[in-house]
Structure 1
Amino acid sequence: MTDASPHDAAAPRRRGRPSRTQTEAAPATRDRILDAAREEFSERGYEKTSVRGIAKAAGVDSALVHHYFGTKEQVFEAAVEVAVTPALAASNAVGDGPLDGVGERLTRFLFGVWENPTTRAPLLAIVRSAFNNEAAAAVFRRLLVAQLMRRIAQQLDVPDAELRAELAAAQLVGVAMLRYVIKLEPLASVDVERIIERVAPVVQAHLTAP
């Protein structure tokens, strides 16, 4: 009987690191992790979501989640960023026409983002998580409020532009919260055009009224 050669068996993988096979699966694996993260954050909120839970939902080792994204906060930011990119284009709604129609343009654009299933999940994750966790709230402020509403404020030639933009944001986020998160009836089921018709004048007043 001869001793087995040390080359007959594969060297054990160092604990806490993804295997070469796992890392070679990128970017498909990375996208799968992000999809799982959006689902977990959307359903559970930031506080109740864990890296281990995300990894399990994605069918990967938790070390792989850390390998691609780092901390849970960094996973959260990467997961919800898909909603921010199109939302940032809402700032163009201010400059694409006269100020007397900006309320409807902005309201229509943002509810269009909410109505799109692709961007709704990460938005749900942001809103649900930001209300009970400071780390998630910081991401919300950084990605949405600072980038989106500040851009809009810069295009408004009115006094207190930043405050006005934030009040408009509060109006839109509040309605979205009741419709898509709390699902308060009949608001949750009514046609989105009726919501835009009612909300747009209020947003307009926040942005441009004396």
Structure 2
Amino acid sequence: MSTTDEPKAGKRRGRRPAGEDTRTALLDAARAVFSENGYDGATVRAIAARAGVDAAMVNHWFGGKDSLFAQAVLELPFDPQMVVDTLLEGEVDTLGERIVRRFVTVWDSTSGGVFPALVRSLASHDKAAIGLRDFLIKNILDKIVAQIKTDQPQLRATLCASQLIGIGMARYVARFEPLGSADTETVVAAVAPTLQRYLTGDIGSISSN
């Protein structure tokens, strides 16, 4: 057989070389498998198989599943300060619209991105809950609410987070219809008024005992 013959269709070409392409392949595969199965349901073997590499490469590049999860799922896929700065451009009265539109647009572009992986891992991995909280509240919503200088900023930020997480779960994880396939502006029109009230409207108060 000629040394230039291509591998037959359907057959694996063997392990990838242990280079940077292997690391990238593992990260991509991990995001997919964690999104489908959550942290507990995702195995090193399944991730390696999806990437087309030997399972030993997970330990070689990441030291294990926990570190791979942190790098594939918990690291933000964008600069949060840039997002905050962009969202704060414009009138405060339309801030809710901009937040919902940005949230849906960003995650629609990647079919939910790492959001399903975070949600499906909440019950089994403490870092998933921390990552989701940091992603929405600490890195974005806390900073936005601080800039508009309203009362009860922490309560307002967490209320906004609850609304966005609910949209994300229904749209990207459970895929409830018709919300799952609704166009961006339909979602904005339906959800933005609630988010705007959380940001600047009357939300009552939480009494401490």
Query: What is the TM-score of this pair, normalised by structure 1?
Result: 0.79
Deviations 1:8-38 (A, max 9, x none): xxxxxxxxxxxxx843x21x11110011001
Question: Unaligned stretches of 5+ in structure 1?
Answer: 1-20
- Alpha-carbon distance between aligned partners in 2 of 1:58 and 1:150, rounded to the nearest angstrom: 37
Alignment of 1:31-42 (within 5 A): 31-42=24-35
| 3-state secondary structure, aligned to 1:188 | helix
1:129 Cα offset (Å)? 1.7
1:67 Cα offset (Å)? 2.3
Deviations 1:142-164 (A, max 9, x none): 34432222222332210111220
1:126 to 118, 132, 147: 118
- Of 95-104 and 140-149, the range deviating more from structure 2: 140-149
Alignment of 1:188-207 (within 5 A): 188-207=180-199
- Which residue pairs with 2:133 in the alignment? 141
- Which residue pairs with 2:66 in the alignment? 73
Question: Unaligned stretches of 5+ in structure 2?
Answer: 1-15, 203-209
1:185 to 171, 177, 181: 177
**Residue 63 (1) aligns with residue 86 (2):** no
1:126 Cα offset (Å)? 1.4
- Which residue pairs with 2:40 in the alignment? 47
| 3-state secondary structure, aligned to 1:159 | coil
- Alpha-carbon distance between aligned partners in 2 of 1:116 and 1:131, rounded to the nearest angstrom: 26
- Of 87-96 and 184-193, the range deviating more from structure 2: 87-96
1:131 Cα offset (Å)? 4.3
Q: Match for 1:205: what amino acid? A: R
Q: Which has the larger radius of gyration?
A: 1
Contact 1:94 1:155 in 2 (8 A): no
- Alpha-carbon distance between aligned partners in 2 of 1:162 and 1:66, rounded to the nearest angstrom: 39
Contact 2:74 2:128 in 1 (8 A): no
- Alpha-carbon distance between aligned partners in 2 of 1:138 and 1:151, rounded to the nearest angstrom: 17
- Alpha-carbon distance between aligned partners in 2 of 1:152 and 1:69, rounded to the nearest angstrom: 34
- Detail structure 1 runs of 4+ shifted over 6 Å in the superposition: none
| 3-state secondary structure, aligned to 1:121 | coil
Identity of aligned residues (%): 38
**Residue 152 (1) aligns with residue 133 (2):** no
Q: Which has the higher helix share?
A: 1
- Which residue pairs with 2:88 in the alignment? 95
- Of 143-152 and 186-195, the range deviating more from structure 2: 143-152
Q: Match for 1:202: what amino acid? A: T
Deviations 1:71-101 (A, max 9, x none): 3222112112565425654322442112111
| 3-state secondary structure, aligned to 1:96 | coil
Deviations 1:136-195 (A, max 9, x none): 223322344322222223322101112201111111110221122111122222222111
Q: Match for 1:78: what amino acid? A: Q
Deviations 1:115-143 (A, max 9, x none): 102x6231221122224432322332234
CA RMSD of aligned residues (A): 2.2
